[in-house]
Amino acid sequence: MKANLVKILQAMGLQRVLLPEHKMRSLSRSKNVDNSIDSDSASMKTALSVVLDVDSSNEPEPSEAAYLSWLKEHPSALRSFERMMKAARGKRIVVFLDYDGTLSPIVNDPDRALMSDEMRAAVRGVAKYFPTAIISGRSREKVKEFVQLPNVYYAGSHGMDIMAPPNPVKNSDGKSPPVSLDKKGNEVLFQPAKKFLPAIRQIYAELEEKTRRIPGARLEDNRFCISVHFRQVKEEDVNILREMVRSVIAKYPDFHLTGGKKVIEIRPSIEWNKGNALEYLLETLGFKDSSDVLPLYIGDDRTDEDAFKAIERRGQGYPIIVSTVPKDTKALYSLSDPSEVLTFLSRLARWRRASSCSSRSSAQIWGLGD
């Protein structure tokens, strides 16, 4: 059974792609493969865990068939644009964007993951018409430095550091939501992991000391979490690095590890993620109990799944994954890469402009300037 499955997967070019069982079934059906696989889910699971590489950081080239099949379940947001916007009429769209892999392409050096001017213009265009937030694993300061736009919300450290823009969007009753001001007069809304800062500094120092022995390993201080990058670490050293990180974190029971694209992330164990940040921002915008709000979230990584789940729980919204490979995801739609994200955002702003030019300016409606 396992040998058969391996052969089938190899023939389909899927041996390193992680797909959930039901998606494997639909793939096997679409390829007319042995249907006995469908009925033997236990063996299939075992075989999959042996055969498939479960680390999402390894992004294999998918077979065309696998990708096309996945696209059926997660249709392109570009191709579905008209349908999506038709369903959005009369609703209040709120845009949430991840940064790395969504607004900027994945590159070797995290400090060089710059956003293009075209992408910046597209985000600016969207933020002119819709409340817009960037929710990133990076520190808030860093992502703001990359994006350089004033009228968007920034949520850094996977949503553990949220700041409102200087001109907050007005509530549906026309009033601005209450915010607390920081020393510079900016609105600091939420930092639920503040008490962990001393421990985070300590962990960072320990990791810095230990990981310098691994060539290519790189630490990134994301304020309320830490990234240990291994994109440039030799394959044979990756597990040694993982072990090092695990041994440090074992001493800190209030922290846990998560994984992303060639990165290990150290996070305080609090019930707060990108999904909570999305909910928090919607509430701040006055949409807590609103039935006509439509959150649209675009992201490419595992941590974005929390936001996709939050939208799923709300029962309304557009979760969009950025991926060129089939992935297990709660997203309903897909875009292949940041260049498609750019096209989508530009189209979204154009659509809003066209549909609002006869009525009063949306910037007025949302209380936003240029």
Ligand X SMILES: O=P(O)(O)OC[C@H]1O[C@H](O[C@H]2O[C@H](CO)[C@@H](O)[C@H](O)[C@H]2O)[C@H](O)[C@@H](O)[C@@H]1O
| CA-only gyration radius of the chain, Å | 22
Q: Which of 223, 262, 267, 330 binds ligand X (CB under 6 A)?
A: 262
Q: Is 17 in the site for ligand X (CB under 6 A)?
A: no
Residue 260 interacts with ligand X (CB under 6 A): yes or no: yes
Using the rule CB under 6 A, is 100 a contact of ligand X? yes
Count CA atoms within 13 Å of residue 250 on its CB side: 7
Instruction: Confirm whether 38 is a catalytic residue.
Output: no
Q: Give 100 or 161: the residue with its C-beta nearer to ligand X.
A: 100
Q: Which stretch binds ligand X (CB under 6 A): 11-19, 225-233, 279-287, 332-340?
A: 225-233
Stretch that binds ligand X, among 101-109, 115-123, 176-184, 346-354 (CB under 6 A): 101-109
From candidates 50, 107, 197, 205, binder to ligand X by CB under 6 A: 107
Q: How far is the CB of 238 from ligand X (least distance, A)?
A: 12
Q: For ligand X, which stretch binds (CB under 6 A), given 34-42, 69-77, 103-111, 147-155? A: 103-111
Q: Kindly name the residue from 34, 98, 328, 337 that is annotated as catalytic.
A: 98
124 binds ligand X (CB under 6 A): no
261 binds ligand X (CB under 6 A): yes
Nearer Cβ to ligand X (266/368): 266
If binding means CB under 6 A, how many residues of this protein chain bind ligand X?
A: 24
263 lines the binding site for ligand X (CB under 6 A): yes
Evaluate whether 80 touches 39 at the Cβ level (below 8 Å). no
- Site for ligand X, residues 284 to 343, rule: CB under 6 A: 301, 303
**Does 137 participate in binding ligand X (rule CB under 6 A)?**
yes
In angstroms, rounded to a whole number, what is the distance separating the alpha carbons of residues 260 and 277?
18
Q: What share of the chain is helix, strand, coil (3-state, %, to 5)?
A: 45, 15, 40
Q: Using CA atoms, how far apart are residues 96 and 278, in angstroms rounded to an integer?
A: 8
Of 291, 316, 295, 319, nearest in space to 306 by CA: 319
216 touches ligand X (CB under 6 A): no
What count of other Cβ atoms lies within 10 Å of the Cβ of residue 275?
A: 24
Nearest to 190 by CA among 65, 77, 88, 283: 283
Q: Does 277 bind ligand X (CB under 6 A)?
A: no
Long-range Cβ pairs for the range 252-256 (8 Å, 24+)? 252/199, 252/203, 254/196, 254/199, 255/196, 255/199, 255/203
Question: Do 122 and 346 meet the contact criterion of CB atoms below 8 Å apart?
Answer: yes
Contact 329, 321 (CB under 8 A): yes
Cross-strand partners of 295 = 94
- Kindly tell me the sign of the dihedral angle through the C-alpha atoms of 235, 240, 245, 249: positive
159 lines the binding site for ligand X (CB under 6 A):
no
222 binds ligand X (CB under 6 A): yes
Q: How far apart are CA 320 and CA 5, in angstroms?
A: 31
Asked if residue 275 binds ligand X (CB under 6 A), the reply is no
Q: Give the CB-nearest residue to ligand X.
A: 137
> Under the criterion CB under 6 A, does residue 110 sit at the interface with ligand X?
yes
User: Using CB under 6 A, which of 136, 151, 284, 329 touches ligand X?
Assistant: 136
Return d(Cα 300, Cα 282) in angstroms, integer. 21
Q: Which of 37, 44, 106, 345 binds ligand X (CB under 6 A)?
A: 106
Contact status, residue 275 vs residue 160, Cβ threshold 8 Å: no
CB of 292 vs ligand X, minimal distance in Å? 28
Show which residues are catalytic.
98
Footprint of ligand X on this chain (CB under 6 A)? 98-101, 106-108, 110, 113, 136-138, 220, 222, 227, 229, 231, 260-263, 265, 301, 303
